[in-house]
């Protein structure tokens, strides 16, 4: 089982440190892998049960890429885990599939664990063209890569408080299972109240959580709920 906290543009260096200190006091089941993705400015080496990852990175070691960080900056803190293809990168910042695939290839080459996100918009869901849309988001991605973790995150469920229904998640995960044997996560309004239901969905190996992960109490509650499964 995997539980990952995506801080997005929340938390500071100081509050991340405090969060991770409190996380050490939260009992977790042995078979649960924890990941925390703080903002760039809070990346560091931290003690504790969670693997620290970056929310994004450019596919180069270093260079003239204003506003980006690359392998050199990640290496300083021993970071070898990344989120790529998050819908906010795709839709708010216009990242193309070509750019995402380039980043993927670069960090795959360097053995990174990559949380690779895919998910349809509401418009696509209503048109019923989900599979084709997801396939396009997987173009250029090595689905056999052993460091790959795929997160299914429907755009309309992210940050809206409205999680996808069990059946909807199950259907997409079943489709993704025909493409890859790597772990599949669900993300989109996961919270303490629905995490157990989501974890019981066939094919679901864990959750990528935004909003409900920002308060340590709520993240810890989800860890407890996973313990009870
Ligand atoms: P949310 O975000 O939990 O706030 O819906 C999930 C994500 O974007 O990874």
| pLDDT, tens digit, 9 for 90 and up, residues 19-30 | 999 999 999 999
- Ligand 1 centroid to residue 158 C-alpha, Å: 5
Q: Which of 88, 95, 120, 153 is catalytic?
A: 153
Of 111, 88, 92, 114, the closest CA to residue 101 belongs to: 114
Q: Is the pLDDT of residue 162 over 90?
A: no
pLDDT at 217 over 90: yes
Q: What confidence score (pLDDT) does residue 176 get?
A: 98
The predicted pLDDT at position 120 comes to: 97
pLDDT > 90? residue 118: yes
pLDDT above 90: residue 117? yes
Q: Which atom of ligand 1 is nearest to the CA of 189?
A: 5
Instruction: For residue 208, give the ligand 1 atom closest to its CA.
Output: 9
Query: What pTM value is reported for the model?
Result: 0.97
How many of the other CB atoms lie within 10 Å of CB of 37? Answer: 27
Pick the CATH number of 2-227 from 3.20.20.70, 3.30.1600.10, 3.40.50.10490, 2.60.40.2220: 3.20.20.70
- How many other C-beta atoms lie within 10 A of the C-beta of residue 80? 18
Looking up tokens 């090595």, which residue turns up?
Answer: 142
Residue 147 near ligand 1, beta carbon < 6 Å: no
- Check if 190 has its Cβ closer than 6 Å to any atom of ligand 1: yes
Coil/strand/helix, residue 88: helix
pLDDT at 182: 98
Nearest CA to ligand 1 atom 2: 210
Residue 80 has pLDDT above 90, yes or no: yes
Atom of ligand 1 lying closest to residue 8 CA: 8
Q: Which is it for the CA torsion 8, 11, 14, 16, positive or negative?
A: negative
Residues 6+ apart with CB under 8 A from 28: 34, 49, 223, 226, 227
Instruction: Using the mean position of ligand 1's atoms as its centre, give its distance from the Cα of residue 59 in Å.
Output: 24
CA of 32 to the centre of ligand 1 (A): 19
Respond yes or no: is residue 86 known to be catalytic. Answer: yes
The stretch 136-155 carries a mean pLDDT of 98
Lowest mean pLDDT among 105-109, 112-116, 161-165: 161-165
- In the residue annotation, 120 being an active-site residue is answered as no
d(CA 42, ligand 1 centre) in Å: 19
């Amino acid at each position: 089982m995997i539980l990952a906290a995506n801080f997005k543009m929340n938390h500071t260096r100081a509050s991340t440190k405090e969060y991770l200190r409190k996380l050490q006091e939260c009992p977790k089941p042995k078979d649960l892998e924890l990941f925390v993705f703080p903002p760039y400015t809070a990346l560091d080496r931290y003690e504790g049960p969670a693997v620290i990852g970056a929310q994004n990175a450019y596919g180069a070691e270093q260079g003239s890429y204003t506003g980006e960080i690359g392998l050199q900056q990640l290496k300083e803190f021993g970071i070898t885990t990344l989120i790529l293809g998050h819908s906010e990168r795709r839709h708010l910042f216009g990242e193309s599939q070509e750019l995402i695939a380039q980043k993927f290839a670069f960090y795959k080459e360097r053995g990174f664990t990559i949380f690779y996100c895919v998910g349809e918009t509401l418009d696509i869901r209503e048109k019923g063209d989900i599979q084709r849309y997801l396939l396009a988001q997987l173009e250029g991605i090595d689905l056999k890569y052993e460091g790959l973790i795929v997160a299914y995150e429907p755009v309309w469920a992210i940050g809206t408080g409205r999680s996808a229904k069990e059946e909807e998640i199950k259907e997409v995960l079943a489709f993704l299972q025909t493409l890859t044997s790597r772990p599949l996560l669900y993300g989109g309004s996961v919270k303490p109240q629905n995490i157990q239901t989501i974890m019981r969905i066939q094919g679901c190996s864990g959750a990528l959580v935004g909003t409900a992960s920002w308060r340590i109490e709520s993240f810890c509650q989800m860890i407890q709920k996973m313990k009870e499964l």
